[in-house]
Amino acid sequence: MSRKALVISPELCIGCRGCQTACKSWNQLSAAKTTNKGTVENPPDLTPNLYNKIRYVEVPSESNPVRWLFVSQRCMHCDDAGCMKICPAPGALFKTKEGAVGFDKEKCIGCKLCVAGCPFNIPRYDEKDKITKCNLCSDRIAEGLEPACAKTCPTGAISYGDRNSLIGKAQGAGYQKLYGEADLGGLGVLYAFKDAPKVYGMEENPAIPESVIFWHKVLKPLAYWGLGGAVVASLVHYVAFGPKKDEEVK
Amino acid sequence: MANMVKKANAFEILNHWVMAVSFIILAATGFGFLFHLEQLNSIFGNFNAMKLWHNWSGVVFAVSLFFTIFHYLPVSLSLGSDDIAWISKAGGYFSKKAVVPPQDRLNTGQKLLYLIVLTVGTAIAVSGLIIWLRPAAADIRKWVLLSHLVHNIGFVLMVTIIPLHIYLATLANPGTFRIMVYGTVPLEWAKKRHAKWVQKMGF
């Protein structure tokens, strides 16, 4: 199956936050009581019960004093996912056949390492210490439906489909390069930005933390070879030099 | 029966075994987490149970590591010219003709092993607690990543060094293992391998 993706176009988003509500509705996530901080960005951050949040960025300039940007923030469904790399529990985080990063709370052991391994600071953990995050509505897309956010979006700011054809379509619409086309092996959530990513509150070059890469590429093999090497070295020494027998000790 | 002398007391032996068993559980589950060894489910049940075994064995390990301070730290810190000579002869392990200098209650290799285990063990325990308890801090993700790195570097060192320790204390040096069972050794054995200690104790 070809990889699926979302393309998010902040320039089309009107900040209605219907996607936030649809996401909660489909995934049966309870609402949270928040306080008015004088911004439409509400709740202020992702929570175990909020997989998708509209970030609100105000970019006033001389020519356009009311430039408001709305950016959906959620799991990016990386091809090379930091959370999956660091996760110690097999099956807790997994790739669906559509290329989404799914999670299984039964298999999650609550170590929370994924929270540190994610380049985008997305995963949250619930009151039982289990991982929660957007899973691209795995249960919907497996049945050929769109994720709830894309389904409900009234302006086309969130579009779901075949990753390659979405990229092609965006190029046709004048976007030379989408955010996330090549980062982390290619993201499953792409952004059609008209400005530098940081204007929208996104990092220029997202990457898995270097220490996690080092651990994966160097320390893991070293643990294997260290133990094996020590056992082999002991055996070789025993055969080549033998034990220190009492009568030989001077 | 040969003339026996006491080299380790009951508490030291018990503590060493508590540490040994907790280490084996920690290392086995550690490999399980690193390489997703689902075969270990036949022992621990599932990865959730394995995490509990790992974390609480870590507590047991840390407590036993603390008690080792009283058993091994003073002698391990008493490094001198004999220890340098021991190192330059590689402990006599690679030549039947080598004559190694007289040794304390612990030989140079054991002293160095202990200093490494104490340092690495402390680092592993502290980093493990940070990952486990996740103390509230603004940059906790950075702390967890650092702890994850330290924990794993410590893991590599431990799983490399401890098998060598086990080999040296059993097959490579006949007569050593009984110390961790009975606490006693023949006086003649002790004179050959721990001459300085025998002299100090006046056996």
Can you say how many angstroms the Cα of residue A67 is from the centroid of all Cα atoms in its chain?
28
Element (H, E) at B11: helix B10-35
pLDDT > 90: percent of chain A: 89
- What is the structure's pLDDT at B34? 97
Residue A40, token pair as written in the block: 């439409």
| ipTM > 0.85, yes or no | yes
Q: Are residues A168 and A216 located together in one domain of the fold?
A: no
How far is residue A62's CA from residue A26's CA, in Å, rounded to a whole number? Answer: 42
Pairwise CB contact (< 8 Å): A237 & B172: yes
Kindly determine whether residue A244 and residue B173, on different chains, have CB atoms separated by under 8 Å.
yes
Same domain? A172 vs A236: no
Q: What string of H, E and C letters represents the secondary structure of A49-63? A: CECCEEEEEECCCCC
Q: Which amino acid is at B136?
A: A
pLDDT of residue B2 exceeding 90: no
- Give yes or no: residues A68 and A156 share one domain: yes
CA distance A152 to A144: 16
Query: Is A40 a member of any domain?
Result: yes
- A124 three-class SS: strand
Q: Spell out which residues of chain A touch residue B144, defining contact as CB-CB under 8 Å.
A: 112-113, 115-116
Task: Give yes or no for B160 touching A (CB within 8 A).
Answer: yes
Domain match, A169 and A67 both: yes
Residues B123-137, mean pLDDT to the nearest whole number? 96
Considering the domain architecture, whether residues A174 and A236 belong to the same structural domain is answered as no
Percent of chain A with pLDDT over 70: 100
Across the interface, do A116 and B161 touch by the CB < 8 Å criterion?
no
Q: Tell me: pLDDT of A250 over 70.
A: no
Q: How many domains does chain B have?
A: 1
* Contact flag B149-A215 (C-beta cutoff 8 Å): yes
Count of A–B CB contacts within 8 Å? 122
Helix (H) or strand (E) holding A117: helix A113-117
Q: What's the predicted TM-score (pTM) here?
A: 0.95
B189 CB within 8 Å of a chain A CB: yes
DSSP letters along B71-110, please? HHHHHHH---HHHHHHHHTGGGTT-SS--PPP--SS-HHH
Q: B164 CA to chain A: closest CA distance, Å?
A: 6
Partner residue facing A238 (CB), from B30, B48, B171:
B171
The alpha-carbon gap from B131 to the nearest alpha carbon of chain A, in Å, equals: 7
Q: What is the pLDDT of residue B98?
A: 85
- Angle value at C-alpha A12, between A10 and A16, nearest 5 degrees: 85
Q: How many CA atoms lie within 13 A of A154 on its CB side?
A: 7
Q: Using CB atoms and an 8 Å cut-off, which of residues 8-27 of chain B contact chain A?
A: none
Contact B164 A230 (CB under 8 A): yes
Do both A48 and A142 map to the same domain? yes
Q: Minimal Cα distance from A112: which residue of B?
A: B131
- Length of chain B as a residue count: 203
Q: Are residues A58 and A161 in the same domain?
A: yes
Mean pLDDT of A143-152: 97
CA distance A230 to chain B (A): 6
**Whether A230 and B155 lie within 8 Å, measured CB to CB:** no
* Residue A219, token pair as written in the block: 């320390």
Q: Which of residues 91-110 of B touch A (CB under 8 A)?
A: 92-96, 99
**Average pLDDT of span A110-118:** 97
Tokens of residue B169, six digits: 């204390």
B192 and A246: CB-CB below 8 Å?
Answer: yes
**CB spacing of A88 vs B192 below 8 angstroms:** no
- Residues A145 and A48 both lie in one domain: yes
**CATH number of the domain enclosing B41:** 1.20.950.20
Partners of A244 on chain B (C-beta within 8 Å) are 92-93, 172-174
Is it the case that residue A10 has pLDDT exceeding 90? yes
Residue of A105, A236, A249 to mutate, testing the B interface (most B Cβ within 10 Å of its Cβ): A249
Residue B198: burial class (beta carbons within 10 Å; 0-12, 13-18, 19+): buried
Whether the CA torsion B186, B188, B192, B198 is positive or negative: it is: positive
A221: confidence class by pLDDT, cuts 50, 70, 90: very high
- Find the CATH number of the domain harbouring A61: 3.30.70.20
Per the structure, the count of domains in chain A is 2
Residue-by-residue DSSP string for A191-214 = E--SS-GGGGT--SS----HHHHH
Which structural domain, as residue segments, surrounds residue A152? Answer: 4-76+137-200
Task: Answer yes or no: is pLDDT of A248 > 80.
Answer: no
Interval B179-199: pLDDT, tens: 999 999 999 999 999 999 999
Q: What is the Rg, in whole angstroms, of the alpha carbon atoms belonging to chain B?
A: 19
Question: Residue A128: how many CB atoms within 10 A of its CB?
Answer: 9
Asked if A234's CB is within 8 angstroms of B38's CB, the reply is no
Same domain, residue pair A188 and A235:
no
Query: What does each C-alpha distance from A59 to A64, B171, B176 come to in angstroms?
Result: 8, 72, 74
Q: Average pLDDT in the A92-103 region?
A: 98
More confident residue, B203 or A114: A114
Q: Are A71 and A9 in a shared domain?
A: yes
- Asked if the model's pLDDT at residue B1 lies above 70, the reply is no
pLDDT per residue as tens digits for the range A170-200: 999 999 899 999 999 999 999 999 999 999 9
Classify residue A56: in a domain, yes or no: yes
Q: Which amino acid is at A9?
A: S
Question: Chain A contact for B43, CB < 8 A?
Answer: no
The predicted structure's pLDDT at residue A38 = 86
Are both A72 and A10 inside the same structural domain? yes
Query: Is there a contact between A243 and B173 if contact means CB atoms under 8 Å apart?
Result: yes
Amino acid present at A11: E
Residues A14-68 have pLDDT tens digits of 999 999 999 999 999 999 999 988 888 899 999 999 999 999 999 998 998 988 9
Q: Cβ separation of A238 and B167 shorter than 8 Å?
A: yes
Average pLDDT of chain B is: 96
Q: A164 in a domain, yes or no?
A: yes
Nearest-Cα residue of chain A relative to residue B170: A243
Chain B contacts of A246, Cβ < 8 Å? Answer: 174-175, 188-189, 192
Q: Do A154 and A190 sit in the same domain of this protein?
A: yes
Q: Report percent pLDDT > 70 for chain B.
A: 100
With beta carbons less than 8 A apart as the criterion, state whether A178 and A200 touch.
no
State which residues form the domain around B176. Answer: 4-201
Residue at token pair 């509230």: B136
Contacts of B160 in chain A (CB under 8 A): 226-227, 229-230
